[in-house]
Amino acid sequence: MPYQPKFATKSITVKAVTLTLDPLPNAAAVGQTIIFSGFLTTDGVGWGPGQTIDIYAGMKKIASGMTQANGYYEVSWTIPFKFDTYVFPCASHTFQAYHAASGTWSNARSMQVAFPVRIRDFWAPDTVRAGDLFTANGFLEFQDVDGAWKGIGGATVNIYYDGNLIGPVTTQSNGYFEKTDCKIPTAGTYTLKADYAGTIKTAAVTAVAGVLGEGASTLLAIAPFALLGLAVARERGWLRI
């Protein structure tokens, strides 16, 4: 028996899904925790709670989190040297958020990833005469993915006393720097500081040592390296942007 064709219709509304990713720091160092945040919305209304948001670096998923009731999400990620078998290089990377349930990608954000940097064995004499020349030296190094500390050559390290610039010095290929024409004009107790401001790819670092002017009686010890991270976080942050 033949049948006539027939059809039925029904109106259906499909809401637009939008996923945003807030701005990231221009640069951050390995070991630093980054917060990825933004909103998942449908026609401008927050979609939540409990929607899964994945964070990608390029095509690598690095972290996941959930939306709150208003669609807002925050996902924290501590930058590693590598995740899974992928080595995370010291370079610029593109990050996006992804909502798998709707297949929606966020806008892209870029961030430079830096390797840790230190100033090792920063040295200066304990006592000098006011106006006399003296030498300050040390090593500027970065930590590579194999865990080894390696010299940074051709970099500029500035030497200061109590915030006054003595002058710059350029590191050798092994990271060694030596400034032989340091001078403090007035007697007193001063803090000598070696400061590497960094580049977009490397972390900034500061080291301090004590220097005495003629007639001073108090000695300042070389600061242990364990305190350098605190000094950097307090005074400069990890990077110079």
Tell me the per-residue pLDDT of 59-106, one tens digit each, with 9 for 90 and over.
999 999 999 999 999 999 999 988 777 777 888 999 999 999 999 999
Task: For residues 181 and 163, give the distance between their C-alpha atoms in angstroms, rounded to a whole number.
Answer: 17
* Lookup result for tokens 């364990």: 226
In this structure, the dihedral spanned by the alpha carbons of residues 53, 56, 62 and 66, taken in order and rounded to 10 degrees, is: -10
Domains and CATH numbers, the chain: 17-114 (2.60.40.10), 117-235 (2.60.40.10)
User: Helix, strand or coil for residue 65?
Assistant: strand
Tell me the per-residue pLDDT of 153-189, one tens digit each, with 9 for 90 and over.
999 999 999 999 999 999 999 999 999 999 999 999 8
